[in-house]
Chain A
Amino acid sequence: MLERFLEVLPEIGAAMGQTLTMLLVAIPLAVLLGTPLGVLLYTIGPNGLKHKPRLHRVLDGLVNLIRSFPFLILLIAIIPVTRFIVGTTIGTAAVIVPLTLNAIPYFARFVEQNLSQLGGGVVEAARSMGASRSQIVRDVLIVEAKPGLVSSITIMTVSFISYSAMAGLVGGGGIGDFAIRYGYYRYETPLMITAIILMILLVTAVQLSGSYLARRLDKRL
């Protein structure tokens, strides 16, 4: 038993590395691209700073469209796009494309929701001080939404640890794929349990540090 465990240990390490790679690329990209999209959705929305009903409907629909795809389907459906962007359709890099594509609208919704929960008071105060729309977004809305946004990033990361388990379908690897291959296909239950424990530890670590950071940033008390 121990022998077998030591045998696959390098593979477990590699799988963890692949999972972390997927997350470390997809999540920051989603935050980077999803934040402006979410800000835009809020800004041109019915209660935003500059309501643009038509553009809002289009963007809102597009976000819903991408979010409608079950991740497994999206993974396959966008294979041509994946090939165009990373030059391959298999491996960890190939999974990162659909992960990111899925995460962008996912996070944009979080941003939109966090901003719309802030209430109009601070925006009104900023307008009375002669703030421009971009100043209101940067210096007021994002500042006030920061703790909420950190919580949202935490929730998203945990969700995407789960999504990354489907990476095996296109040879993307990762710890979830490891669990499926050894536990499901080879009936090596102890190895599957090991992988599951690692995933639990990963999720716990993400959640604890996310909650801690959000608490630190939140001055509402």
Chain B
Amino acid sequence: MIDIQNVTTSFASAEGRFTAVDDVSLHIQRGSIQGIIGFSGAGKSTLLRNINLLERPTSGRVLVDGVDLTALSEPELRTKRHGIGMIFQHFNLLNNLTAQENVELSLKFAGVGKAERRRRAAETLEIVDLADKAGSYPAKLSGGQKQRVAIARALASEPKVLLCDEPTSAVDPRTTSSVLQYLADVNAEFGITIVVVTHEMNVIKAIADNVAVMEDGRVVEQFDLIELQRPGFHPATSIGRYLVSDEIQLQRSAPADRPAASVERLINA
């Protein structure tokens, strides 16, 4: 469904060029949920933005549903984006629009007429169980509800792909489960291919079919989540092992009593 081929994305910065994504190739199966995990600055959000070309790769190709997005003109790309939904860590809803109006927005951009917009937005809010909040402004909604409105907004234009940028990083653990459940449901019900970028391994474990581990702009390893249940399976890289262990590891001795850079050692353990 999504084919990322040798994608590199670099930016001009004060200290010269900075490469956020470094020669990444990744194939994402139709109807699957692909996780992308890594620490801050690993390049995972940039890679996600490479898929809908919010961030145009410096080199490489991105194919979605067989179409090379990097070869499209600006208007063609915009049309294509109606078929690729996206949600964000901070929801990015318009504060001055109601939930219903926010959902209608993606349809408005897709050129859908007013009556049809209203009908489909109401329908989509139903999917995320927020029909009763249609007239509420985002300020009156909880974090989880805001993310569900954002999910509805992304789903309204009936996309084949849903990109999720840290979708649960700004909500509490219980809300995390609820948001992920809605994502799992739309995947199961509509067969939407989902890509989830996160730094939380429990999110990956809960929802992903496959995971790609990123470090320094590269995908350092990939595996099926089923592998985790196989006894004796260990991620090949130290960062993969650290992320899979998913525990905060501290040393409770005085810092003076242990060698420097021990945090680094923990990660590489």
Contacts and interface: CB of A to CB of B under 8 A. Distances in A.
Contact of B96 (A124, A126, A135, A147): A147
A124 B55 CA distance: 10
A124 B95 contact: no
B80 A130 contact: yes
Interface stretch (B20-28, B31-39, B102-110): B102-110
A126 B88 CA distance: 12
A86 B36 CA distance: 65
Nearest to B111: A130
Given A125-B88, A219-B139, A131 B109 contact: yes
Contacts of B106: 129-130
Interface in B148-163: 150, 153-154, 157, 163
Chain B contact residues (Cβ within 8 angstroms of A): what range?
20 to 34
Interface stretch (A29-37, A74-82, A138-146, A203-211): A138-146
Given A122-B94, A146-B96, A220-B95, A130 B79 contact: yes
| Contact count band on A | 20 to 34
Interface in B48-67: 52, 54
Interface hub of A125, A146, A218 (most chain B Cβ within 10 A): A125
Closest 10 CB pairs of A and B: A130-B81, A125-B92, A128-B86, A121-B92, A219-B137, A130-B78, A129-B106, A221-B139, A131-B109, A130-B82
Given A139-B109, A221-B140, 5 more contacts: A125-B153, A128-B52, A130-B110, A135-B109, A219-B139
Interface of B: 52, 54, 75, 77-82, 84-86, 88, 90, 92-97, 105-106, 108-110, 137-140, 150, 153-154, 157, 163
7 contacts: A129-B154, A132-B78, A135-B108, A139-B108, A217-B96, A219-B97, A219-B137
